[in-house]
Amino acid sequence: MQNYPQYSSKQKWIHWLTLVLIVCTYLLVFFKVTLSSYLGGMFNIYLFHKSFGVLIFGITLWRFIVIKQDGVPDVLPKSQKRQRILSKSVQGFIYILLIIVPLSGYLMSSRPLNFFGVISIPAIDMPNKAYQLFHQTHQVSAYLLIALLIVHIAGALFHYVWIKDKVLQSMLKRN
């Protein structure tokens, strides 16, 4: 038995799987030129980028259901008010962006989305102005998400290395 609060094993799976998918999604667009020579053209790069994005969207919806079922452990003590507000706000904005980023990616395209080349998700017909707006939203929100993740990861490492409490372990240890 651990004597500190823990996320459920489902929550841990979702958390670390999202990390892997997010890294892949960003790497695909940031290294698109190099990767396109391996994957055989830009078409494939965006097929994978979009498909990973859709997966992240789906997993995030599942995450909300799991949070509702399993609850969220009280990782930081009640006395650390400012830290609790900061970490919860960052996590809250991350949740919102995990919805906005893939959704705007889907909405900015006038072509059907080919999920891993298997399932075709139809595009929504909109005026050109709306596509442009979602394109901008996709770019801005994707970079905002990177900024928040830097704060989030720095916070987790700060707890582990500096404060030496069990915050990181709450997301790591096997239940």
Task: Identify which of residues 119 and 153 has a Cβ nearer to ligand HEM in the complex.
Answer: 153
Shortest approach of ligand HEM to residue 81 CB, angstroms? Answer: 14
Task: Identify which of residues 37 and 71 has a Cβ nearer to ligand HEM in the complex.
Answer: 71
CA distances from 89 to 112, 116, 159 (A): 35, 34, 17
Assigned token pair, 126: 């909109």
Max distance between CA atoms of the chain, in angstroms, equals 57
Shortest approach of ligand HEM to residue 41 CB, angstroms? Answer: 14
Handedness of CA 52, 57, 63, 65 (dihedral sign): negative
User: Is 152 strand, coil or helix?
Assistant: helix
Residues 75/167, Cβ–Cβ less than 8 Å: yes
Binding site for ligand HEM (CB under 6 A): 11, 15, 18-19, 22, 25-26, 29, 46, 49-50, 53-54, 56, 63, 67, 75-76, 87, 91, 94-95, 101-102, 105-106, 109, 113, 138-139, 142, 145, 149, 152-153, 156, 167-168, 170-171
Task: Identify which of residues 1 and 161 has a Cβ nearer to ligand HEM in the complex.
Answer: 161
Shortest approach of ligand HEM to residue 99 CB, angstroms? Answer: 9
Shortest approach of ligand HEM to residue 1 CB, angstroms? Answer: 20
Using CA atoms, how far apart are residues 30 and 93, in angstroms rounded to an integer? 23
